């Protein structure tokens, strides 16, 4: 079975800065794949290239069988994307947010209504479908955003820090629904996260990026075994990145994360 995501020497430069350098990896259909790394490692730049928001400087990539440069429209039709920042409108109800998403994806009216009800039920939001999103908890908002991204039934779902700012109970609820999407629809999921327990819990394989390069690739268990007999994924991260996760990124990174956490909290 051919990969559903495949990159070949993907590279992105911003002036004199190389954000992603020579990235080659493949993700199999139905896999939950985690892209890990400290702030500035190139994770978000990679996702932006894969979802056609940012053209690569060189190299190539295919998503759901479509070339990101030659077939961007087909790529976008085949994917869902949940960014780190809020993407639901707090002044609308959950059902209204989903209806807007359905219209944007050109889902026919009759089919759209049924898909909305199915999505609300699957995400555990049917009882609050008519409530304004600004009254929702962080975990409920995240589930709604995932429902919006999945309404057109994409082959690939990209999640950028899906549980940032959520409490442990809400995080686990989101995990359950992410696994449910994979199990129910066979959706391929590529996620970024700074939570090593999240990566261990959800991902069949992970890739660790550092300074724009892919420095490690494998299952959480195999990578940990390579580092040491009692190593955890936290140890693997530190081993390959020098512990840069503790640096916390730039002022802008910190401000963005705290702003997101406050709005979701």
Q: Write the pLDDT tens digit of every residue in 180-214.
A: 888 888 999 999 999 999 999 999 999 999 999 99
Per-residue pLDDT tens over the stretch 155-167:
999 999 888 878 8
Q: Residue 86 has what pLDDT?
A: 82
Q: What is the mean pLDDT of residues 145-163?
A: 93
Mean pLDDT to the nearest integer, 25-42: 94
Spatial contact of 26 and 6, defined as CB atoms under 8 Å apart: yes
Q: Which two tokens stand for residue 167?
A: 């409490």
Tell me the per-residue pLDDT of 92-134, one tens digit each, with 9 for 90 and over: 999 999 999 999 999 999 899 999 999 999 999 999 999 999 9
Strand partners, 6: 26, 62
Q: What is the pLDDT of residues 218-230, one digit of tens each?
A: 999 999 999 999 9
CA distances from 89 to 28, 85, 132, 234 (A): 33, 12, 9, 35
* Confidence tier at 253 by pLDDT (50, 70, 90): low
**Is pLDDT at 246 greater than 60 in this prediction?**
no
Q: Which domains does the chain have, with CATH numbers?
A: 5-78+155-264 (3.40.50.300), 88-153 (no CATH)
Helices (H), 123-241: 138-150, 168-185, 196-202, 220-227, 233-241
Cβ–Cβ under 8 Å, residues 31 and 75: no
Outline where DSSP puts E strands in the chain: 5-14, 17-27, 32-36, 58-63, 66-67, 79-82, 156-160, 188-192, 205-210, 213-218
| Cα separation, 32 vs 56, whole angstroms | 24
């Amino acid at each position: 079975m051919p990969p559903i995501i495949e990159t070949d020497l993907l590279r992105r430069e911003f002036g004199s800065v190389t954000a992603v350098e020579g990235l080659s990896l493949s993700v199999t259909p139905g896999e939950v794949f985690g892209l890990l790394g400290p702030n500035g490692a190139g994770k978000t730049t990679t996702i932006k290239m894969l979802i056609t928001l940012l053209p690569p400087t060189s190299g190539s990539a295919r998503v759901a069988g479509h070339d990101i440069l030659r077939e961007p429209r087909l790529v976008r039709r085949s994917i869902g994307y949940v960014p780190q920042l809020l993407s639901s409108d707090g002044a609308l109800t959950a059902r209204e947010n989903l209806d807007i998403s359905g219209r944007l994806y050109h889902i026919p009216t009759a089919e759209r209504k049924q898909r909305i009800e199915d999505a609300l039920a699957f995400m555990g939001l049917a009882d609050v479908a008519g409530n304004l999103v600004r009254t929702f908890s962080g975990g409920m908002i995240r589930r709604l955003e995932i429902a919006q991204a999945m309404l057109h039934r994409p082959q690939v779902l990209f999640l950028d820090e899906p549980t940032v700012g959520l409490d442990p109970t809400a995080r686990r609820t989101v995990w359950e629904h992410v696994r449910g999407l994979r199990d129910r629809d066979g959706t391929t999921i590529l996620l970024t996260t700074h939570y090593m327990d999240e990566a261990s819990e959800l991902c069949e394989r992970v890739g660790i990026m550092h300074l724009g390069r892919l420095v490690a690739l494998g299952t959480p268990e195999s990578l940990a075994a390579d580092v040491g007999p009692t190593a955890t994924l936290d140890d693997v991260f530190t081993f390959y990145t020098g512990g840069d996760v503790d640096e916390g990124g730039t002022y802008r990174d910190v401000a963005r994360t705290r702003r997101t956490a406050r709005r979701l909290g």
